[in-house]
């Protein structure tokens, strides 16, 4: 009787009986890949900006003084520039963490799951900003113009008639024609998108939150 011999097999492939063995892989990224990845670049940028902020080095202050006609900056403006640099550093650090987690998830899970979660997260964050920060109303002139046009389109008309005291409603981004037509000066694509939500009486769901999440899913889901 021959003695039993132990045979070593490669990590992948088949065993002696021809049965496929389960492949075990450990997630590991080389240091060079981590540093050159988007997560590493964002992390290095955030550390540089935060270190400069701790050392009270604010390059934008020097640039603003150079561009100022008299070289003078108000106290409030200087404080805003300094705060913006701190916020940029922390934002890049958060982006680095998100990029690193996304890199791990994309390596160990299905990519469609990552896209779905990213789209849902984008919708939640942008909806929160719209409700809590922007109070669910447009704040800039072009957004007001397109919102106004969406109300007109939702009513089934391409334009509104000028009111009797039309001079009180003059607006840079609205057209008041001699023929009495009142409408936006922009192309109607975005206004049509907004009007679709106006027609079902949920204008709060129409603007950028749903569009951003859909664009994210469409772009990365190709």
pLDDT digits (tens, 9 = 90+) for 60-83: 888 888 888 888 888 888 898 899
% pLDDT > 90, the chain: 18
pTM given for the model: 0.45
* pLDDT-derived band at 134, boundaries 50, 70, 90: confident
Both tokens of residue 59? 């390059």
**What angle separates helix 111-128 from helix 208-220, to the nearest 10 degrees?**
160
Q: Tell me what the mean pLDDT of segment 44-49 comes to.
A: 93
Please state the domain extents for the chain. Answer: 31-108, 141-206
Both tokens of residue 101? 């987690």
194 close to 150: Cβ distance less than 8 angstroms? yes
Closest to 95 (Cα-Cα) out of 59, 44, 129: 44
30 close to 40: Cβ distance less than 8 angstroms? no
Backbone angles phi, psi at 9, to 5 degrees: -115, 155
Q: Tell me what the mean pLDDT of segment 21-27 comes to.
A: 44
Q: What is the pLDDT of residue 206?
A: 58
Q: Rounded to an integer, what distance in angstroms lies between the CA atom of residue 105 and that of residue 96? A: 14
Q: Rounded to an integer, what distance in angstroms lies between the CA atom of residue 209 and that of residue 198? A: 15
Neighbours of 97 (CB within 10 A): 14
Query: Which residues, at least 6 apart from 182, have a Cβ–Cβ distance to it below 8 Å?
Result: 159, 160, 161, 162, 163, 166, 169, 174, 175, 176
């Amino acid at each position: 009787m021959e003695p039993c011999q132990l045979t070593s097999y490669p990590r992948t492939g088949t065993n002696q009986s021809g049965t496929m063995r389960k492949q075990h892989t450990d997630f590991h990224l080389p240091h060079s890949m981590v540093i050159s990845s988007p997560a590493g670049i964002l992390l290095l940028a955030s550390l540089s900006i935060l270190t400069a902020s701790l050392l009270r080095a604010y390059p934008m202050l020097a640039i603003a003084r150079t561009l100022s006609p008299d070289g003078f900056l108000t106290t409030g403006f200087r404080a805003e520039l300094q705060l913006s640099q701190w916020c940029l550093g922390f934002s890049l650090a958060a982006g680095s963490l998100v990029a690193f987690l996304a890199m791990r998830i994309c390596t160990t899970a299905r990519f469609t799951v990552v896209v779905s979660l990213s789209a849902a997260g984008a919708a939640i964050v942008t909806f929160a900003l719209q409700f809590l920060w922007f109070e669910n109303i447009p704040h800039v002139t072009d957004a007001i113009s397109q919102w106004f046009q969406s109300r007109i389109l939702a009513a089934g008309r391409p334009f509104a008639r000028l009111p009797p005291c039309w001079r009180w409603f003059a607006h840079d981004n609205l057209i008041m024609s001699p023929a009495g037509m009142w409408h936006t000066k922009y192309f109607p694509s975005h206004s049509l998108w907004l009007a679709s939500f106006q027609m079902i009486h949920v204008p709060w769901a129409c603007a950028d939150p749903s569009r951003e999440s859909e664009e994210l899913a469409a772009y990365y889901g190709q």
